[in-house]
Amino acid sequence: MAVRPNPVRLSCNQCRWHKIIAPRSDVVPNDYFLDECPKCGGELHRKQLSGLFSSLIRLLNE
């Protein structure tokens, strides 16, 4: 059984760009591994989402 990666929230320190990436399966989207902001090239903060919020996202995706 494939382990589904946890959703992550990416946010930029500089321009406040942010995105929540929730892989639907064991196929991880390319932007899951972003470490630069696509808007300004700034450094991204990555936060793993877990617990209730994670379950909610999975429910919405199924």
Kindly tell me which of 12 and 57 has the beta carbon lying closer to Zn ion: 12
What is the contact surface with Zn ion in residues (CB under 5 A)?
12, 14-15, 17, 37, 39-40, 42
Which residue in this structure is represented by tokens 């760009």?
Answer: 17
The amino acid present at 35, given as its one-letter code, is: D
The amino acid present at 26, given as its one-letter code, is: D
Alpha helix positions (H), 1-62: 51-61
Residue 9 CB, nearest approach to Zn ion (Å): 14
Residue 15 CB, nearest approach to Zn ion (Å): 3
Kindly tell me which of 8 and 12 has the beta carbon lying closer to Zn ion: 12
